[in-house]
A = this chain, B = another copy of it.
Amino acid sequence: MPMKAISSHTDYQYRVEVCHTPGQFPLYKQDAGIVVVIDILRATSAMVAAFHHGVKDIIPVATVEEARKYIGMPGHVAAAERNGEVVEGFPVGNSPLAFKAMDLKGKTIVISTTNGTQAINIGKDAKQLVIGAFLNLTALTDWLLRQNDNILLLCSGWRDKFSLEDSVFAGAVMDRLLDSGKFGVEEDSSIASKYLYMAARDNFMSILKAAPRRKRLQQLQLLDDVKYCLTPDQATVIPVLRGDRLVPLET
């Protein structure tokens, strides 16, 4: 796979760029009207899964304490994860398969996670903030292709460090948007994501082997969760931020 120009189009109308970590958001936000928050393992995957299984809305909160107030509240599910594990006292963390197994219909989830909910907080002033995961890849990219605005793919990373699966997913979204000719890229970070996607696309699970950090999730016996999170197009819902909560986007 020799490196070559990743798009032959130079007359694009809008930009799609990748920010690899929340901490770098101020450097990349520029004129981005739409921010897509990405935390493949596992916050944004869990959010898409939850909406797919009938949840009414999701309130992302920064701290465990905020989420804790909702434990036992009727109509609410309090969820908190830190370092890949469910926080003590909570019924659930950020496992999409755990959400799938619960009765979520019509309920409100209040969730705090290590990385994903922080990224949502950082990007919340965008004109539109939506949630991306392999689970809703095609629905998301189809919708993005219809938008007339600059797009920033915001990776949640891991404790503000680069995360391979988030960047690979950003490259997957970009791959489809660049093909249209409507969107173009300027940033090296974006080009890097695209190449990482090209290296990973034939076998997303292989990134587990490439990345020692993922061994932690394996040790936590979350391999089924990881496989689910890396499987494209299990859902068509696109969560969008309205005020303080995520709701399903009306498309």
User: Which A residues lie at the B interface, using CB under 8 A?
Assistant: 1-6, 20-21, 23-24, 27-28, 158-164, 167, 185-189, 191-192, 195-196, 198-200, 202-203, 206-207, 209-213
Task: Take A20-B162, A24-B23, A27-B159 as given contacts and tell me if A211 and B199 are in contact as well, using a CB distance cutoff of 8 Å.
Answer: no
Nearest chain B residue, comparing its CB with the CB of A2: B202
Nearest chain B residue, comparing its CB with the CB of A20: B162
A203 x B24 contact (CB < 8 A)? no
A210 x B187 contact (CB < 8 A)? no
A158 x B1 contact (CB < 8 A)? no
- Within the complex, what minimum Cβ distance (angstroms) separates A161 from chain B? 5
- Within the complex, what minimum Cβ distance (angstroms) separates A156 from chain B? 12
Give how many copies assemble into the complex: 2
On chain B, the residues within 8 Å of A210 by CB distance are 3-6, 191, 195
20 A/B residue pairs, CB under 8 Å, sorted by A: A1-B199, A4-B210, A6-B210, A21-B24, A23-B23, A24-B24, A24-B160, A161-B188, A162-B192, A163-B188, A164-B188, A167-B192, A188-B211, A191-B210, A191-B211, A192-B192, A192-B196, A196-B196, A198-B199, A199-B199
Complex alpha-carbon distance, A206 and B20, angstroms: 23
Complex alpha-carbon distance, A56 and B1, angstroms: 42
Task: Take A212-B186, A213-B188 as given contacts and tell me if A3 and B161 are in contact as well, using a CB distance cutoff of 8 Å.
Answer: no
- Within the complex, what minimum Cβ distance (angstroms) separates A155 from chain B? 10
Task: Take A21-B24, A164-B192 as given contacts and tell me if A186 and B203 are in contact as well, using a CB distance cutoff of 8 Å.
Answer: no
A2 x B192 contact (CB < 8 A)? no
- Extra pairs beyond A23-B24, A158-B188, A191-B211 (13, CB < 8 Å): A1-B199, A4-B206, A6-B210, A20-B20, A23-B23, A24-B24, A24-B160, A27-B161, A28-B161, A162-B188, A162-B192, A188-B213, A195-B199
Could you say which of A167, A188, A191, A196 has the most chain B C-beta atoms within 10 Å of its C-beta? A188
Complex alpha-carbon distance, A78 and B203, angstroms: 52
